[in-house]
Amino acid sequence: MFQDIGLIVITSLVLIMISVPPILFLFWYIHDKRQSQHSVLRNFPLLGRVRYFLEMLGPEFRQYLFDSDDEGRPFSRIDFSNIVVQGKYLKTVIAFGSKRDFDQPGLYIRNSMFPKQKEEMKIEAMPKIKTRRYVGTEGLFSRNEHLEDVEVSPWTLPEEDAIVIGPQCKTPWRVRGPVGMSAMSYGALGENAISSISHGLGMATGSWVHTGEGGLAPYHTIGGGDVIMQIGSGIFGVRNEDGTFSWEKFKEKAAHPQLRCFEIKLAQGAKIRGGHVEGSKVNEEIAEIRGVEPWKTVDSPNRHNQFHDLASLFDFIDEMRLQGGKPIGMKIVMGGPDSADELARYMSETGRGPDYITVDGGEGGSGATYQEMADSMGVPVRSGIIYCDDALRRHGVRDRVKLFASGKLFSPDKIAIALASGADLVNIARGMMISVGCIGAQKCHTNKCPVGVATTDPDHQKALVVDEKKWRVLNYVITLRNGLHTLAAASGLDSYTKFKRDHIVYKDQHGKVTSLETLFPYPDA
């Protein structure tokens, strides 16, 4: 196969060279010999250009031809494929067996000798939701697929089992689904991508859209579902012209019937500092929503100026809850096993604090971040959620606060492990992006996303058709819920809300299996 690929590449290069006029080769030769920027071109003008041509195509060759199904990072080919198949076909069925390397250490879900039957599960199967999925065949040169109308069960929690956030608030939030959109701003994503996700999650019911730190845009509410509004250090959407916090604008947002709660962003897994958006993405509409100047690069401060310690943070949370009447959460990244101890201790001593905490893992994504932070700062979500859960339990405040987890939790098994580790709910970002067409081109920060997802450029956004992609989002979320309930039933549980640490085991390189509860025992309050 590799010989064939090499032959194709060489043939393509020969054809390109044949089609180029000889005078152009002479121009390149003279120009490259005289230039001083590239050493290779100075000594080998024509061969050097062939080298740069192959270097530019390298990422695409590796992604589609050379990397194995599970080698790609941050998402492998099989990760992409699974999400796409769920969104297009409402299927998770595979043939012949798993491609997981079972000789490697890893986490597994403990099965029960007596699994639950479907009728024993605490889920809502009615009323059915209308959706559309693809049927037919898809070949290289002929695509005969078409959308057909189908009905699916919502797989949401019964009303009596809903997860309640901020029960003491004037307007608590009752959540009946395990997963929703993670923080993705209008500006990081274009309006077509956000509209598709908003429509899909709205139709799915029991889910939520998350604004990210860019402020509340009309595209976040277009689907009619629940919305979380994040307030980052740039306080976009709730700021005065001089950059100070505006309580009037905050109350205006809080009055929106779809907005269920606010989230104060202290940190994000991919960048433990303020956000960054290239000026090419900041069009007039985005600038108006955020309260900044159009076409200028936006860098948020490293932290909020409204508070500087836990006491002032809690004062700010109390005032937001009083002024808005809705739950207030905070987003953090765990730096170690004791990162949340001071927070939990202060909550215990004062009886105050957030209504929920989002724990973002160091493996989280971003439209624009810094290499030195993305690779090494902040612990992964599997460790972070356990340590945060432990801290809250040690100080006796776990029952007062709900935990969201985020960080590459894009499949039912990963979600089940996160719930067992201590999370109540899960945020998904890149899984949602892939469901609306993301191909992992890693051009998010350039505003040149080839499939119209992470761009505000009108020409590039034409690739993303909202009326088609919204069904993929709906189908993706439904298959996640269905798969999660299937895993719970296989574990002998009648609801995914009952996953605990003893339902997960860790197998080491020698084959020894240890319960997650043994590795991380629940602390005494």
Indicate whether 6 pLDDT > 60: no
Closest by CA to 330, choosing from 321, 322, 338, is: 321
Are the CB atoms for 212 and 230 separated by under 8 Å? Answer: yes
- Residue 2: per-residue pLDDT: 42
Cα angle: 88, vertex 91, 92; to 5 degrees: 125
Whether residues 32 and 179 fall in one domain: no
Two tokens, residue 60: 């695409």
Indicate whether 367 pLDDT > 70: no
Burial class (CB in 10 A: 0-12, 13-18, 19+), 129: middle
Query: Tens digit of pLDDT for each residue in 211-228?
Result: 999 999 999 999 999 999
Q: Give me the number of domains the chain comprises.
A: 2
Residue 132 forms part of a structural domain: no
Two tokens, residue 454: 């992470």
Query: Tens digit of pLDDT for each residue in 53-80?
Result: 777 776 666 666 666 767 767 777 888 8
Indicate whether 394 pLDDT > 70: yes
Whether residues 39 and 169 fall in one domain: no
Residue 87 forms part of a structural domain: no
Percent of the chain with pLDDT over 90: 60
In sequence order, what are the beta bridge partners of 20?
Answer: none
Indicate whether 413 pLDDT > 60: yes
Q: How does residue 31 score in pLDDT terms, banded at 50, 70 and 90?
A: confident
Whether residues 57 and 173 fall in one domain: no
Whether residues 53 and 168 fall in one domain: no
Closest by CA to 499, choosing from 194, 107, 143, is: 107
Compute the distance between CA of residue 378 and CA of residue 459 in angstroms, rounded to an integer: 37
Residue 330 forms part of a structural domain: yes
Cβ-proximal residues to 40 (8 Å cutoff; 6+ apart), any chain: 47, 48, 51, 52
Percent of the chain with pLDDT over 70: 89
Whether residues 268 and 413 fall in one domain: yes
**Average pLDDT taken over every residue of the chain:** 88
Domain boundary among 66, 90, 110: 66
Domain boundary among 14, 45, 66: 66
Whether residues 178 and 60 fall in one domain: no
- Residue 475: per-residue pLDDT: 97
Its sign, for the CA torsion 362, 367, 373, 375, is positive
Indicate whether 10 pLDDT > 70: no
The gap from C-alpha 37 to its chain's centroid, in whole angstroms, comes to: 40
The range of the structural domain enclosing residue 49 comes to: 2-66
**In 401-440, which positions are buried (b, 16+ CB within 10 angstroms) versus exposed (e)?**
bbbbbbbbbbbbebbbbbbbbbbbbbbbbbbbbbbbbbbb
Indicate whether 525 pLDDT > 50: yes
pTM: 0.88
- Residue 271: per-residue pLDDT: 66
**In 215-249, which positions are buried (b, 16+ CB within 10 angstroms) versus exposed (e)?**
bbbebbbbbebbbbbbbbbbbbbbbeeeeebbeeb
Are the CB atoms for 230 and 331 separated by under 8 Å? Answer: yes
Query: Tens digit of pLDDT for each residue in 150-196?
Result: 999 999 999 999 999 999 999 999 999 999 999 999 988 999 999 99
Q: How does residue 3 score in pLDDT terms, banded at 50, 70 and 90?
A: very low
Q: Coil, helix or strand for 371?
A: helix
- Residue 281: per-residue pLDDT: 79
Residue 81: enclosing H or E segment and its boundaries? helix 77-89
Whether residues 282 and 396 fall in one domain: yes
Whether residues 386 and 515 fall in one domain: yes
Query: Tens digit of pLDDT for each residue in 472-505?
Result: 999 999 999 999 999 999 999 999 999 999 999 9
Residue 222 forms part of a structural domain: yes
Peptide bond into 127 cis (omega under 30): yes
Residue 152 forms part of a structural domain: no
State the Cα torsion 520-522-524-525 to the nearest 10°: 120
Whether residues 43 and 183 fall in one domain: no
Whether residues 213 and 326 fall in one domain: yes
Lowest mean pLDDT among 153-162, 199-208, 271-280, 463-472: 271-280
Give me the helix-helix angle, 381-394 and 341-350, nearest 10°: 30
Query: Tens digit of pLDDT for each residue in 237-262?
Result: 999 988 899 999 999 999 999 999 99
Supply the DSSP symbol for 62. I
Closest by CA to 476, choosing from 438, 450, 514, is: 438
Indicate whether 47 pLDDT > 90: no
Residue 131 forms part of a structural domain: no
Residue 74 forms part of a structural domain: no
Whether residues 177 and 62 fall in one domain: no
Residue 271 forms part of a structural domain: yes
Give me the CATH number covering residue 463.
3.20.20.70
- Residue 33: per-residue pLDDT: 79
More confident residue, 360 or 25: 360
More confident residue, 364 or 395: 395
- Residue 1: per-residue pLDDT: 43
